[in-house]
Structure 1
């Protein structure tokens, strides 16, 4: 950096904050380090006693924080998102649509380990809405070696750190099981819960079937809804290991491929996920906890299904850490540790 007369500093980059103190009014930085001095800034700088300024000298092989910040955004940014204005080496990523946030965690960690730059984000595999802040990035020093930013680009490998999978409109079919509901002994209280959760997405319910506990009947109900054009099947109840809980058998008998029966999540350990046919139509078996617990494994899996992801068993197997809902008196999900 070098010292110059303030009147000669137009177009130069400040190397430090300039503080303005007005008794009883303000004590704050009127200009931040990295600010590019303009003609209209000169009277303000003189009014705070700055006859001379320390400015950044352009050096071969060095980048200003804002130049480097743009490179960092290029490493992170993807379709369905846009950058905020660059300020003091900082850029935020903003979602352009509702969808599922995807994060390349390994790449994120590798870039953060390089030093002098940082990326902080939301957790991946959770929903975001248009206008939501996805991540914030920053170059730490005022200037950074161009070589270091080139290395960061190599780590990025040309594939963005973040992505958004827009939610897909689906047609859902509900199969409510249980002799007690089928014979009218009790009221169906499961459907309203499922319908409320589906209402958060673009879902049309094409039909609802109520079945007794006979697996043949449950299988028929699933196939009927598939015939009506359902591309998402949700079966409620009959998911435990009790001899008379036959929903898993009924789902298997449709010819659907079982991905997993059971998951390391509480509530929701008896959850079942399967896919039917060449179109890989999701078929879920929802245990009773989905009806009475505020948040369960269904809340973790549904957004990914609505984004069109085809989940594998390993996607469920890794949910154990963070898979314990604490049933807080006031639920703040997803702003909590559940699923993370």
Structure 2
């Protein structure tokens, strides 16, 4: 692509680099000039109108053989990035930009290495995304593809598209129901604050909680509740913190015939989470901070579980960088 000033008489077929005033023949004397927008492909009529405004030189871009116009390039790259993926919709190209938006609630799935390769091809080709596994709502902006100049070289675009293949997708909710088992110490049921917070979390993904279940803080009682739970995903929120992998709630999972996969996470708030399984049902032991609607480590685990994204102990242990989240004021033992 060539870029620079040219006489108005030589600008037909060029792309206007800056919005420019013009004076069409039908412009009444009392009317102001009309603006020709940036990015317009100039015709003989445009140029005559510009000349009447007294302008004799324009800043323009001229495509060369093999160049791909900005809108076409952005559209092709967006198609490559989402190739074979579901849950994304591409917007129409405008000014060299195409957005990829979520069709429904879910998590953004990103191949970060592939996106880095795309952005390394040429400064003219850019892809910006949300963070990996970010929770998205329907219509949420997952990525924006922007071609910076008015066109890019065909070979550069081809390299970017090759690097981009299937790098961006969405994972959507896989379940419709969940059971929350709450424990109590003494006769009184706990506040429903934790249940309301969890209900809002799962509702985002189209899930509902089954009837409330409150049991004594005892292994046998929790184990029996787990065995009878109707939900497809099982949550446990204990009256007192789970302080060890052999504490009441993890032991109850084992007593019910399940297994405990991992305990603890380097995310604060959220350290005291545990992850288990009972048959084909995931079990998540929630930390006490899950009673608050504020984001905490449990969100990062339950969102992946609900959306069918595999999560292993090493994934949880790798969440420490960026895992220092905003303090929850109502927490019993603040950091400071």
Q: Aligned residue for 2:298?
A: 298
CA separation in 1, counterparts of 2:8 and 2:245?
Answer: 87
Going from structure 1 to structure 2, the CA distance change for 1:48 and 1:169 (only over 3 Å counts) comes to farther
Q: Aligned residue for 2:333?
A: none
Aligned-pair CA distance for 1:124: 2.1
Q: Aligned residue for 2:139?
A: 131
Q: Deviations over 1:247-295 (max 9, x none)?
A: 1111133333323111111111010112222x3x211101222224733
CA separation in 2, counterparts of 1:68 and 1:98?
Answer: 28
Q: Aligned residue for 1:174?
A: 180
The secondary structure found in structure 2 opposite 1:207 is coil
The correspondence for 1:69, drawn from 74, 92, 98, is: 74
CA contact (8 A) 1:126 1:303 kept: no
Q: Aligned residue for 1:45?
A: 50
Matched, 1:323 2:327: no
CA separation in 2, counterparts of 1:192 and 1:253?
Answer: 28
Matched, 1:31 2:37: yes
Q: TM-score, normalised on structure 2?
A: 0.81
Aligned-pair CA distance for 1:223: 0.4
CA contact (8 A) 1:35 1:88 kept: no
Going from structure 1 to structure 2, the CA distance change for 1:244 and 1:129 (only over 3 Å counts) comes to closer
Going from structure 1 to structure 2, the CA distance change for 1:89 and 1:312 (only over 3 Å counts) comes to same
Matches within 5 A, 1:17-166: 17-20=18-21, 30-32=36-38, 34-37=39-42, 41-42=46-47, 44-50=49-55, 53=58, 56-77=61-82, 78-115=85-122, 116-156=124-164, 158=165, 160-166=166-172
The correspondence for 2:252, drawn from 250, 253, 256, is: 250
CA contact (8 A) 1:6 1:45 kept: no
CA separation in 2, counterparts of 1:177 and 1:273?
Answer: 17
The secondary structure found in structure 1 opposite 2:267 is coil
CA contact (8 A) 1:20 1:27 kept: yes
CA contact (8 A) 1:261 1:273 kept: yes
Matches within 5 A, 1:266-281: 266-277=268-279, 279=280, 281=281
Q: Report the RMSD for the aligned CA atoms in angstroms.
A: 3.2
CA contact (8 A) 2:253 2:278 kept: no
Going from structure 1 to structure 2, the CA distance change for 1:64 and 1:192 (only over 3 Å counts) comes to closer
Unaligned stretches of 5+ in structure 1? 330-340
CA separation in 1, counterparts of 2:258 and 2:180?
Answer: 16
CA contact (8 A) 2:197 2:293 kept: no
The secondary structure found in structure 1 opposite 2:15 is coil
Q: Deviations over 1:73-125 (max 9, x none)?
A: 12223433222232332222222222211111111112112222111111121
Going from structure 1 to structure 2, the CA distance change for 1:45 and 1:260 (only over 3 Å counts) comes to farther
CA contact (8 A) 2:263 2:275 kept: yes
Unaligned stretches of 5+ in structure 2? 24-30, 330-336
Aligned-pair CA distance for 1:239: 4.2
The secondary structure found in structure 1 opposite 2:276 is strand
Matches within 5 A, 1:160-239: 160-180=166-186, 183-184=187-188, 187=191, 189-225=193-229, 228=230, 230-237=231-238, 238-239=240-241
Aligned-pair CA distance for 1:213: 2.3
CA separation in 1, counterparts of 2:68 and 2:224?
Answer: 66
Q: TM-score, normalised on structure 1?
A: 0.80
Q: Aligned residue for 2:289?
A: 289
Aligned-pair CA distance for 1:219: 0.7
CA separation in 2, counterparts of 1:171 and 1:87?
Answer: 41
CA separation in 2, counterparts of 1:95 and 1:243?
Answer: 38
Pairs aligned (count): 315
